[in-house]
Each structure stands twice: as structure tokens, then as C-alpha cells.
Structure 1
Amino acid sequence: MEEYERNIIPHIEAIYETFTELEKNIADYFIHYDGKEDLVSKKVAKRLYVSEASLSRFAKKCGYTGYREFLFSYQQGRNASPHPHASHHIKKVLNSYQELLNKSYSLMDEEQIIRIVDILSKKKRIYVYGKGSSGLVGMEMKLRFMRIGANIEAITDEHIMKMNSVLLDDECAVIGISISGKTEAVIESLKIAKKCGAKVILMTAHAEKQFLDFCDEVMLFALKENLEQGKAISPQFPILIMVDMLYSQMIQLDEYRRKMLHEYTLEALDER
């Protein structure tokens, strides 16, 4: 699995809630497209009972100059990853993970990763807020980043999130993790953190304009149907991919020192 395809579906899913009802109808068509129908603009417009101008506006909202550029990118990104020797339920799991890996690659913004790591490396204290599966990712993030010298704490209790606000100032960074972007305790705590002068980073699967009012960075991770309920695979997986990217970049900032710190922490654990 060394080759990954840029796929625009995760971008469509990430900005889905910003679409009008008509645009959501178009988005649904491309998200669930089965590959059997012609995607020429006239035929798609007729099929969806929309105008070609609506298709063009949809394409521009997705970040393209027009429908033709959107369609080219969309078709380039479509790829199948069959597993011929696995049973049906195993194929389903493997394909789900492969899909999330490809989507993560599509959403990955290296410049943003560098910006976020720059924030984390300069702040004296880092706090990670999350509940449920997101909280477990926060705990994993704490354990990993502690090993390379970060002063980091993970908080999963909403009451402690509120109390923690008294410790926040401009020397802190606060990371909130919420798959839906609607976890009230996390979102409200991030708003408070911003008012306290902390740098605020939200990791989510949904992009909304309102996040920009209180977040310095919004880092998107991949989304899959029923991911939040964990029905098919662990909802932590796509978040951990992004955490690993941040971790890898942070090590590169001062590779020798951070690797030595990592070794020291492992030695300390062995001595117990």
C-alpha cells in the first residue's frame, strides 16, 4: 500500500454542512456515485434536476475553477483496492481502513502540520480535551508527546476542562478533539481557552466557518459513515493518523534531542 490517491470525497464530506440543500443533493450524488453513469455536466444536471450553473457553483465551493476541473480531479481520485483472497467481512474491514488512509492522505496539509507543531514546540504547556473515543486519543497523544519532552496533559472530564481554564494564558496551547465538531464540553472549553489567550487547535471531521472564530487551526481528519458510533472500525483510527503526522514532524524539529528523551523515558520505565 505504498501508493495513495488524492480523492476529493473527504473534502466534500468535510464541508458538507456548508452546502445549500441543492448542493447537498449534488454532493450526495458524487459521494455515492457507482461509476455506471456518464458524468458529463449536461447529463448530470438532467439526472439531478439542476442547472449546469448549479454544478459549476458546487465545484467552485469545493475549491475548483469550474465543473470540468472538479470532474477531472474526481475521476483521478477514484480507485478500488480489492482484497481477492479475504472473506467478505474481512474485505469490508480492510477496505474501510484503506479508504480512511486514502482520505487521510487527501486531507493532509503539510504546511498546517508544520504550523501546528511550531505552536506546540513553543508553548510551555499543552492541554488536550476530548470525551469518549476522542478522550482516549488525547491520552495516547499525552503518552507519546511526553516521551519527547512536551509538557502535555490530557483532560477527558468536562468539569475539569472548565476548571482548567484558570491555568490558561498565552503560554498555553489547547487541542480539542471532536469527531462531530459538536461535543459541547470540548467546543465551549476551546472558546474559553481562546479568551484566555491560549493558542487553540481543533481536530475534527467536520469543517464549519464558526470554528474560525475561536480556533487558530482546524485540522481535519477522515470521515466514514457510522464512524462516530464505532460500528465498523475504531473511530480513533483516522484521528491517530493525524496525531502520528504531528508526532513525526515534532521529532524532526530537534531529532537528536527528542530521540534521546524518548530513550531516557523508556529506560526509566525499564528501571521500575
Structure 2
Amino acid sequence: MASLLMEIQNVYSNLSDKERNIADFILANPEDASRRNIQELADQTGVSISTITRFAKKVSCRNFVEMKIRLASKSDGTAKATGLNESLLASYHEMLADVQLLNSPDSVDPVLKMMETASRIFIYGLGSSGLAAQELNYRLSRMGFICEAITDPHLMTIRSTLVQEGDLVIAISRSGQTPDLIQSLRRGKDKGADLVAITAFGNTPLTDLAKSVLWTIHPGRSDFHQTGLDISTLYLIDRITLHFLADNQREQLYLQTVKAITNRPLS
């Protein structure tokens, strides 16, 4: 059975505002939520008991009791952390375990194949997702890929007008609903480019457009405190990097860039 937290993340975009209140609390506080009865959870999230019952069914549970059992089984697998460092480490460990489950080889391998065969790779990201786009671009460029990070909406429009069949666009967006990004992606897809999405939400305009999707962790899992490059996105970038560095030719190219930077004269 899939993790309840991942199930909540997948249906999040289809939830009502009140149901999202429940989802946000559970994602940010799964252990706390598992200990509450239905009335306590309703009071905490400002919704009715009937709303919680509907929410449970939307996340593939027959009722609140089953949802609570699934939450409790999730919480039991993690030792109680004490102190700031231990809590942070436990949170990272749990998120990394879930992002691995979200991205099985069956979903990652097609993306790696598309990257390997693409004529050019363009990595789109706005705001904090632009940091991830730049990081992935640095990694791929140093392994010989012809790629570019696009973090400006106007340049996205221009680039999407000029892409062609054989190009690959990798779009990084937690919400999957940023209007400027979606507009550019539609334009690029019409021009024949393939599209890979890296996102935290399913059933969005982004996932509807994408040929393949890689999943990050819902921002509520970190209580919305991570505003930059989150750990699940970094994990995916590392996974992509390590796959291609296993190729001797790409590894040699990467090492050449390391040597060039190391030997660069100081100004």
C-alpha cells in the first residue's frame, strides 16, 4: 500500500480549500495527526467532521479510522527525535525515503533516456525553482550536455518559440500551475519538444502536459520552511548526475571541468 502522505500529495490539487487545511496539517504533522480523534482533528483544522470523512475517502481510505491506522503505521516506523539536530535529521531521512518511493526506476529510467537522446536540454524554473534549474544545468553542462537554464519568464517565451523536435524541456515547479511557465510549456510542446516535469503535485496543468514526471516532496512536509532548493529536488538532481557519471566518457568530461576550474589563475 502506498504511503498515505504520498497519496495526499498526489490528490492535493483536487482538494477543496477546507480539505487542503486537513492535508496541510497532516503533511506537516503526521505523528501528531495520528494521535488525534476525529473531533480533535476537526477542531485543529477548522473543518467539520463530515469534511474529514470525505477527505479520508479521497485519499483511498474507507473511513477516518483506516486513515488514522495508516498514519500511525507511518509514524511508528520513525523513532521519536529529541532536539533540533535529531528532529532535522529524522525529517530529512523520512523525506528522502519517500522521494525514493515516489520515483521508482520505472519512472526515472524513461527520463534519463530522454535526456541522453535529446539534441538540446532546456531547464525551466521560476523563483526558488530557478535555483534548482541552474544547479541541474551546471551538472549537465559539465558532463557534455548541450543545455541551458531558463529562469526568466520572457526568455522562456522566446526559447519556447524556438525549440524544435528532438529538444527536451525539463520544467521544475512545485505547484505545477505557474501561469507564465505553463504558457511557455504549451508553446514549446506545440513546437515538438518533449517535456519532463519535476513537481510536488499531481493532476495539474504541468503534469497534464508532461510526457514523464519526477516527484518531489510536498512543501508542507517541511512545514513550508524550505523556500529555496529543497532536499527532495536536490536528491533527484544527484540521482540524475550519478547515473550519467557512471558513463566513463561523461565522467572524464566532468573531471576535465574540475581540472580547468582548479587550475584557473586567480585574478
TM-score calculated relative to the size of structure 1: 0.75
Q: How does 1:190-209 map to 2 (within 5 A)?
A: 190-209=185-204
Which structure dedicates a bigger proportion of its chain to helix?
Answer: 2
Asked if 1:256 corresponds to 2:248, the answer is: yes
The correspondence for 1:173, drawn from 156, 168, 175, is 168
Count of residue pairs the alignment pairs up? 249
Q: Which runs of 5+ in 2 are unaligned?
A: 39-47
1:245 equivalent in structure 2: 239
Which segment is superposed worse, 140-149 or 102-111?
102-111
The residue type paired with residue 12 of structure 1 is I
Deviations 1:150-185 (A, max 9, x none): 111101111111111233011100011111222222
Kindly provide the CA deviation profile for residues 48-95 of structure 1, in whole angstroms up to 9, marking residues without a partner as x: 44798x6885354x8xxx6799777655433324444xx4x4344334
User: How far did 1:198 drift?
Assistant: 0.3
In structure 2, the partner of 1:43 is none
- 2:143 matched to 1:151? no
Q: Aligned partners of 1:15 and 1:234: how far apart in 2?
A: 24
- 1:100 aligned onto 2:99: no
Distance 2:73 2:58 in 1: 18
Alpha-carbon separation, structure 1, partners of 2:79 and 2:132: 28
Tell me whether 127-136 or 98-107 shows the greater mean CA deviation: 98-107
Match of 1:15 among 11, 16, 32: 11
1:217 deviates by: 1.4
| Partner SS for 2:220 | coil
Pick closer, same or farther for the CA change 1:69–1:193 going to 2, 3 Å. farther
CA distance in 2, matches of 1:27, 1:199: 32
CA distance in 2, matches of 1:130, 1:24: 25
Match of 1:3 in 2: none
Residue 12 to residue 188, structure 1, CA distance change in 2 (3 Å): same
* One-letter code aligned to 1:18: N
Partner amino acid, structure 2, of 1:237: I
TM-score (norm 2): 0.77
Change (3 A) 1:82 1:75: closer
Tell whether the 8 Å contact from 1:226 to 1:232 is kept in structure 2 after alignment.
Answer: no
AA paired with 2:242? S
Question: Could you say what the CA RMSD is over the residues aligned between the two structures, in angstroms?
Answer: 3.3
Amino acid paired to 1:263: L
2:126 aligned partner: 131
CA distance in 1, matches of 2:222, 2:17: 23
Q: Partners in 2 of 1:107 and 1:150 — Cα distance? A: 26
Deviation readout 1:234-258 (Å, 9 max, x if unpaired): 4432211111122223334xx2112
**Partners of 1:176 and 1:202 within 8 A in 2:** yes
Cα gap change, 1:187/1:36 in structure 2, threshold over 3 Å: closer, same or farther?
Answer: same
Segments of 5+ residues of structure 1 without an aligned counterpart are 1-5, 40-46
